[in-house]
Amino acid sequence: MAPLVQAIALSLLLLSMRLAFGGEPDVNAHPDIKSPSITSCMTTACHGSNVADAKNWQRAGKIWFDSDPHARAYTSLLTETSARIVSRLAKKELKSTTPLSDEYREVLNTKCISCHSNENVSESQRVLGADCQVCHGSADAWGSEHYSSEWKLLGKNRFDGTERINVESIAGRAKVCASCHVGELDRKMGPTKGLDREVDHRLMAAGHPPMYFDFESFLRRYPVHWDTQDESVALGSKLGMERWRVGKITTAIARLKLLAARAERSTNKSTQVADWPELTEYSCTSCHHSLVRPSWRIARGSNTNSLASWDDWTASQLDCAVRDQSIEELNFQLTLLKKSVEHTMPVPTQVATIAASLKAWLELELDHVSSSAENSDAILLQKLKSRIANGDRLQNWESATQWYFATRVLAEGIGILGSKAPVSFVKEDPYVNARAWLPTVSNKFDAPTYFDPDMLNDYSTDLKRQLQTRP
Ligand code: HEC
Ligand code: HEC
Ligand code: HEC
Ligand code: HEC
C-alpha cells in the first residue's frame, strides 16, 4: 500500500468536504447535494463521527476510511503488480507514476474502475476507491427522508422503486458483493448500473489474482461499520449457517448469470471479440498443474472428451444449501450444464439457455430458503454427517475448499469443532485471515498444485470423532 496515495486520498476527501460545505464542514446542515459524491454523507453529525463510543452507523465513514479494503481499492491500481497487469493488457511497458499516462488511464477506465472504484463519480473522486455508493446506491438517492425517525419503520419498502440498494437483507447483500467479487455484465438496469464488471482469463493471465469469493468468510473478514445487534438477535448461533446458505445460492445465481451473459455475448457479432469459451469458467488446475509423479491426478485419470472441468467452486456443496426436496432437481440441472460447458466445443446458445434456466430455478429456491424456518439442529447435524460422508468425491482444491467451508460453518452451527487448525491445503484459516489462504499470481501462476485429497484426512477424522462423541 502506498502511504502517499492514501494521504492524497484523505486530503482530497477533506478538501472536497470543505468545498462542499464552505470552510469547515457544517456539522448540523444536510444540504441536498445532487452530485454523487460521498462528502455529503461524511459530516460529523451523519456518518463521519470521530467519537470512539458513537454508534457504528455514525462512525461508518471513519471505519470505512481507516480499515475498509474497498477504500484502498483504487490505490491497488497503482502498485507494481497493477502496472504489470496494465502493461500486459496495453501490450506496452507503462509506469504508474503520477500523473498517469493517457494509455494507463485508458486501461483503468475501461477495465478496472467498475470494481476498484466507482465509475459514476468524477475522475478526481475515484482515488477514494469503491465508495459507499457501490454498496448503498447513489448518494443522490439518500435524500433527507432518511434522517427522519419514521425512516426505519418503513421497513423493506424504503428501498422499493428507488436507487437505494438494500444490503440489509442477506440475499440483497450477497448479490451486491457478488457483482464485483464474481462479476456482472450488462449493468444497465436498476441502482447498480454501470460498466461491465469482469475479471476474465485475459486479466488473470496478465496477472490479476484469481477470485475465490465465499460470501460467509468474506463477510466475516469485512470490517463491520454497522450495528450488528439486530442481525444477531434474529439469528443467534444460526447466523453463520443461514448466511452461508443464502450466500452460497446467491453467489451461484451471480455466477450463472455471468456465464449466460458471456455465452450470449459471444454470439453477438456487433460486440467486441469476446473469448469463448471463457477459460475462467473452468477449473484452473485442470490446465495449470505441475507435472509431478506420483500424482493423485494421474491416478484419478482424466476425461479426455472434454475441454476442461467446469469450475467446481460455485457448484460444489450447493446441494447442501438448497432444501432437501430440491437436491435431486439441482443435481439433474447441474449435470446437464456441466456436460454442455465441458463439451470440446461448447455451444454458446445451449450453455446460455441451460445456465439461465438453472439460475431462474435457484432464484425460486432462494425465496424458499430465505423465508423458511428450516434450520433446526437436527437438520444441521444430518447435513453435516452427509457432508463428511461425501468428502471422498472431492476433485480438486476448489471443491475441497468449499467442502471445508461447508463443514466448518455447519459444525460451528451445532457447536462442535472448537479451535481446530485449518487443513493443510488452505494454509491459513479463511475465516480469520485476509487473502493469505488464496492462490496468488504474484510472481508466476501459483495454482494450488500442491493440493492432494489426502490432506483432508486428519480434518475429516477429527470431525467424525467429534460427531460421535456428541451427546
Ligand atoms: C470484476 C471486478 C474486478 C475488476 C474488473 C478488476 N478487479 Fe482487481 N480485484 C477485484 C477483487 C474482488 C479483488 C480482491 C480479490 C480477493 O481478495 O478475492 C481484486 C484484487 C486486485 C489486486 C490485488 C490487490 C491486493 O491488495 O493484493 C490487484 C493488483 C488488482 N485487483 C488489479 C486490477 C487491475 C489492474 C484491474 C484492471 C486491469 C482490475 N484489478 C480489475 C475485482 C476486480
Ligand atoms: C462493501 C460494501 C459497503 C461499502 C463500501 C459501504 N457499506 Fe455501509 N453497509 C454495508 C452493509 C453490508 C451494511 C449492513 C446492512 C445494513 O445495515 O444496511 C452496511 C450498513 C451501513 C449503515 C447502517 C445502516 C443501518 O440501517 O443501520 C450505514 C450508516 C452505512 N452502511 C454507511 C456507509 C457509508 C457512509 C459508507 C462509505 C463511507 C459505506 N456505508 C460503505 C456495506 C457497505
Ligand atoms: C464495487 C465492487 C465491490 C463490491 C460491491 C464489493 N467488493 Fe469487496 N473488494 C473489491 C475489490 C476491488 C477488492 C480488492 C481491494 C484491494 O485492492 O485490495 C475487494 C476486497 C474485499 C475484501 C478483502 C479481501 C479479502 O479476501 O479479505 C473483502 C473481505 C471484501 N472485499 C468483502 C466484500 C463484501 C463482504 C462485500 C459486500 C458487502 C463486498 N466486498 C463488495 C470490490 C468490491
Ligand atoms: C482450458 C485451459 C485453461 C484453463 C481452464 C485456465 N487456463 Fe490459464 N492459461 C491457459 C493457457 C493455454 C495459457 C497461455 C496462453 C495465455 O496466456 O492465454 C494460460 C495462461 C495463464 C496465465 C499466464 C501464465 C504466464 O506464465 O504468463 C495465468 C496467470 C493463468 N493462465 C491463470 C489461470 C487461472 C487463475 C485460471 C482459473 C481461473 C486459468 N488460468 C484457467 C489455459 C487455461
Comparing C-alpha atoms, which of 341, 152, 148, 136 is closest to residue 230? Answer: 152
* Lowest-pLDDT range of 67-81, 91-105, 189-203, 363-377: 363-377
Q: Alpha-carbon distance 123 to 50, whole Å?
A: 27
The amino acid that residue 154 corresponds to is L
pLDDT at 446 over 60: no
Residue with cell 476425461: 303
Residues 6+ apart with CB under 8 A from 99: none
Mean pLDDT confidence for 205-224: 91
From ligand 2's centre to the CA of 221, what distance in Å? Answer: 15
Q: Alpha-carbon distance 57 to 60, whole Å?
A: 5
- From 87, 182, 198, 201, give the residue whose CB has the most ligand 4 atoms within 8 Å, as the site to mutate: 201
Q: Closest residue (by CA) to atom 5 of ligand 2?
A: 132
From ligand 3's centre to the CA of 85, what distance in Å? Answer: 19
From ligand 4's centre to the CA of 285, what distance in Å? Answer: 9
Highest mean pLDDT among 30-39, 225-234, 279-288, 312-321: 312-321
Q: Alpha-carbon distance 343 to 307, whole Å?
A: 6
The amino acid that residue 36 corresponds to is P
Highest mean pLDDT among 370-384, 390-404, 435-449: 390-404
Comparing C-alpha atoms, which of 348, 362, 360 is closest to residue 259? Answer: 348
pLDDT at 224 over 50: yes
Q: Is 134 in the pocket of ligand 3 (CB under 6 A)?
A: yes
The pLDDT, as a whole number, for residue 363 is 97
pLDDT at 419 over 90: no
Write out the three cell numbers for 334.
447441474
Mean pLDDT confidence for 116-127: 90
Q: Is 445 in the pocket of ligand 2 (CB under 6 A)?
A: no
- The pLDDT tens digits for 268-294 are 877 666 789 999 999 887 787 655 555
pLDDT at 35 over 70: no
Mean pLDDT over the full length of the chain: 83
pLDDT at 33 over 60: no
Output the pTM of the full model: 0.92
